[in-house]
Structure formats: C-alpha cells, structure tokens
C-alpha cells in the first residue's frame, strides 16, 4: 500500500492553504486530501452579494507566508483581468463572493491532490512488528489511505440552543441562502432572527432587503449590536508573533487575553453594517412603515414550529414581559462549535491526550499530543484556541499556520 507523508481530512480554506504550502515547499511532501463534499465550497449559505470580508485581502491563502506566491489574491485578480479595477475599488476588504471565487480558483489548481466525495469514517493506527504505531489508515467508504501524518481541518459546525431542532421553518444562518432558495412563500409576513453577531446582522439585512414587505424581528440578549474592535493595536492579536506569546503564556493569562480581545471576533458586528441597519430603522420610523424591529435585551422563551411557520414567545428580560409572534421562519444566528475531532478520528482519537480542562493538548506546531501507543503525527487546524489563541480558527492566520505544519511534517522526516 502506498504510504503518504500526510493525509488531510477536509479541504476548506485551511487545508487548501496547506496544500499550496506543500506544493511550494523546498522538500516536496507526498500528500492527499479527502473532502466529503463533491466540490470545493466555503459557507455557501452566507455568500450574500453585498457582504464583504472582515479580514484584509493580504491575509489570503499565501501572502503572509510567501508574498511571491502566484496563489495570492492579487494573482487571482490579475488572472481574471480585474487588478486595476480592484485597485480603484480602494478597499482592503473584497466582496465575500469574490473571495470565495478566489478560493475556488486556487482549489481547482490543487485538484490533483484532492479526493472529493470521501467521508472519513475512521482513522486506525498501523502497528509494525516492534509494536510502534508509525502510521495510520484513514478510512472512507471509497478507499483507505495510509499516512505518516494526518492533518484535520474540518471547520466548524452550526450551533443551536439545546432545545431547538432545525426544520422546514427553523433555520441556522449557515444555510440561509439554501433555505431561501427552496422557500415557497411568495410574500412572507415576518421573519425572526436570533443572535447579536456579524452573521445575525447580515441575516437581518439580507431578509429585510430580500422581502420588501415582510417584517424582520431581530432578537438578542444585548441592548444593541456591539461593533468589532478592528483598531490598529487590537488587530495585533492576529499577528504571527501573538501566537507565540499566547502559546507560552500561563493558563490564567491565556484566559485574560482571550476574554479581553473577544470583541475583535465574537458576537460583534462590522461598524458600517450597524450604521446601515440603524439608518433603515430610522428611515422607516420617519416614513411611518416600520418593518425592521430590534427586540433588545430579549430571548426566545418558547418556540412552536408549525407546517407553515413558527410561533415564538419573546421575553423582554428587564421586565419579564412576553410577546407572542407568528413568523414564516426563524433564523438562529447562534454561532458555531468545533467538530468533535476525537470522534472524527475514531480509533486514533483514543490516543489523543487532554489537559486538566479536558481540552486536547497541542504542540506549538499544531500537532496533537498523543500517548505512547501512537507515534504517527496528528495535526489540527482549528479547535486549538485554548492553546494558540483567537487566530486558531480564523482565515487571518491560515497561511502562516499552513507553513508551520508543512515545515513540521517535513522536519520529522520520512520513515
């Protein structure tokens, strides 16, 4: 059986960046990536036409690692004869649909390393005659791939409140565009959006524009949307040097830094979008036809799905007052959670060690710490915020992280 230097599980932006880093590495690595989707796709359900990226185009798949790479966003623009137009656009933040197209452009160029339609069902250690688990077999219904190293980058999955089950009229924002595409109500009367972060605000803006006669009720715990802190000094928390500092810091300092800088990324909204939503509410107030309602300091106290919509009881928490709303659909923009990596790794996952808080132990190079029963390398892209800080799941550090993993695997050498 062929033995790969690495098998990547998942082929989103993180492992795409790794594939390019491998391609550009001084010592080529023998790699293959397994992706359960039939083609490349990144948050397709949130690719609103006017939504922009929240990170600079310079934090693309490669530039922070290799500014001379021809896989950069600038190279993509040049290849599509839009470089001059983008320069005249005078923005560091491309449209999200354009950045997705950039990802697809790069993914097509890496297609020789990818096996689409492969869902990994188990990762089994391969033991030699000396009892050393020097490799693993990555198993899918369509084949088994043996490797000395595995790099897991399966992204995040949607998170819903414990008592909420998705259904025909109960949606998560991750699938919003897909849900709307199959929504067969020509003139809906009302939508409810739950959440106070960027995805919630974008969903509110989209539904308010998409259905010009429908009410949109935005329900959130806070009194108002909070702006993301993208100021110069705060943004340094995303610099490569900050990862070193965070990783080496004591646990209490890690928690302090993470909590203090949550407002750079979590449950916050781009300032321009906040202003746009406020303009809409004020304009409607002046014109006397309110459609956009901010239900602040509120929560969904009860939800009853129906065949033709939902009945939601909204509680105003300061007063306890409750209001019943009938809506055509409710959208939960309640965030994401890391995929359970040990469950995905199956047999090999049992060898991954955890810390006193039951979190996976990870080295600085993103290699998980395993027991003596497994010497093959298991690397994790995403899901190590407790070790590497806020950037562990973000695009902004993807290029640097990919380079570090490629170098680590190369330095370990071949058996």
Banded pLDDT at 329 (limits 50, 70, 90): very high
Strand partners, 6: 31
pLDDT reported for residue 186 = 87
pLDDT band at 155 (very low <50, low <70, confident <90, very high): confident
pLDDT at 337 over 90: no
How many Cβ atoms sit within 10 Å of the Cβ of residue 307?
7
d(CA 76, CA 69): 11
What ranges make up the beta strands (E) of 121-166?
122-127, 133-140, 143-147, 149-152, 156-158
Query: pLDDT of 245-293, one tens digit each?
Result: 999 999 999 999 999 999 999 899 999 999 999 999 999 999 999 999 9
**Element housing 190 (H / E):** strand 190-194
Does 161 score more than 50 pLDDT? yes
The dihedral through the CA atoms of 337, 121, 411, 16 has a sign that is negative
Domain boundaries, the chain: 3-155+339-412, 159-227+266-332
Shared fold status for 3-155+339-412 and 159-227+266-332: yes
Return the exposure string of 38-48: e unless at least 16 CB atoms fall within 10 Å of the residue's CB, then b. eebbbbebbbb
Is the predicted pLDDT of residue 29 greater than 90, yes or no? yes
Query: Across the chain, what does the average pLDDT equal?
Result: 95
> How far apart are the C-alpha atoms of 26 and 415, rounded to whole Å?
19
Euclidean distance between CA atoms 266 and 204, whole angstroms: 18
For the residues 55-73, what does the mean pLDDT come to? 98
pLDDT at 415: 44
Question: For residue 131, what pLDDT is reported?
Answer: 82
Report the DSSP beta bridge partners of residue 329. 191
Q: How many residues does this entry show for the chain?
A: 415
Q: How many CB atoms lie within 10 A of CB 141?
A: 9
Average pLDDT over residues 143-165: 94
Q: What is the mean pLDDT of residues 133-151?
A: 97
Which residues lie across from 33 on neighbouring strands? 8, 114
231-258: average pLDDT: 95
Ranges 106-115, 180-189, 392-401, 406-415: which has the least confidence? 406-415
Give the contacts of 273 (CB within 8 A, at least 6 positions apart). Answer: 198, 201, 202, 205
pLDDT at position 27? 82
Q: In the beta sheet, which residues pair with residue 124? A: 137
Maximal CA-CA distance, the chain: 80
Percent of the chain clearing pLDDT 70 (strictly above): 99
Segment 73-120, tens digit of pLDDT: 999 999 999 999 999 999 999 999 999 999 999 999 999 999 999 999
Say which CATH class 159-227+266-332 falls into: alpha beta
* Model pLDDT for residues 214-230, shown as the tens digit of each residue: 999 999 999 999 999 99
| 155: nearest Cα among 16, 259, 62 | 16
Mean pLDDT for 340-365 is: 94
Q: Does domain 3-155+339-412 have CATH number 3.50.50.60?
A: yes
């Amino acid at each position: 059986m062929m033995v790969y230097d690495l098998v990547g599980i998942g082929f989103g932006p993180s492992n795409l960046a790794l594939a390019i880093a491998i391609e550009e590495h001084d010592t080529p690595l023998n790699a293959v990536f397994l992706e359960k989707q039939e083609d490349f796709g990144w948050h397709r359900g949130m690719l609103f036409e006017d939504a922009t990226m929240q990170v600079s185009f310079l934090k693309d798949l490669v530039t922070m690692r290799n500014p001379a790479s021809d896989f950069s966003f600038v190279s993509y623009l040049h290849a599509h004869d839009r470089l001059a137009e983008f320069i005249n656009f005078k923005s560091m933040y491309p449209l999200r649909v354009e950045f997705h197209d950039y990802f697809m452009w790069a993914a097509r160029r890496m297609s020789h390393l990818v096996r689409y339609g492969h869902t990994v069902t188990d990762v089994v250690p391969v033991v030699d005659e000396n009892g050393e688990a020097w490799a693993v077999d990555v198993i899918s219904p369509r084949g088994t791939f043996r490797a000395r190293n595995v790099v897991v980058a399966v992204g995040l999955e949607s998170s819903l409140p414990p008592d909420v089950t998705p259904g025909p009229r109960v949606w998560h924002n991750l699938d919003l565009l897909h849900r709307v595409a199959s929504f067969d109500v020509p003139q809906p009367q009302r939508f409810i959006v739950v959440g106070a972060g960027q995805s919630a605000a974008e969903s509110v803006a989209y539904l308010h524009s998409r259905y010009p006669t429908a009410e949109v009720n935005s329900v959130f715990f806070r009194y108002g949307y909070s702006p993301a802190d993208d100021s110069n000094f705060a943004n340094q928390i995303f610099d490569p040097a900050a990862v070193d500092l965070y990783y080496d810091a004591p646990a209490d300092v890690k928690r302090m830094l993470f909590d203090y800088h949550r407002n750079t990324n979590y449950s916050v909204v781009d300032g321009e979008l906040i202003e746009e939503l406020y303009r809409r509410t004020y304009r409607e107030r002046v014109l006397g036809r309110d459609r956009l309602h901010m239900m602040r300091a509120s929560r969904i106290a009860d939800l009853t799905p129906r065949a033709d919509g939902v009945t939601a009881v909204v509680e105003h928490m300061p007063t306890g007052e409750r209001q019943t709303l009938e809506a055509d659909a409710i959208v939960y923009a309640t965030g994401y959670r890391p995929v359970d990596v040990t469950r995905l790794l199956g047999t090999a996952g049992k060898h991954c060690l955890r810390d006193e808080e039951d979190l996976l132990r990870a080295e600085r190079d993103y290699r998980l710490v395993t027991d003596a029963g497994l010497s093959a390398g298991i690397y994790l892209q995403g899901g190590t915020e407790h070790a590497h800080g806020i950037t562990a799941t973000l695009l902004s550090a993807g290029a640097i992280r990919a380079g570090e993993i490629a170098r680590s695997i190369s330095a370990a050498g071949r058996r």
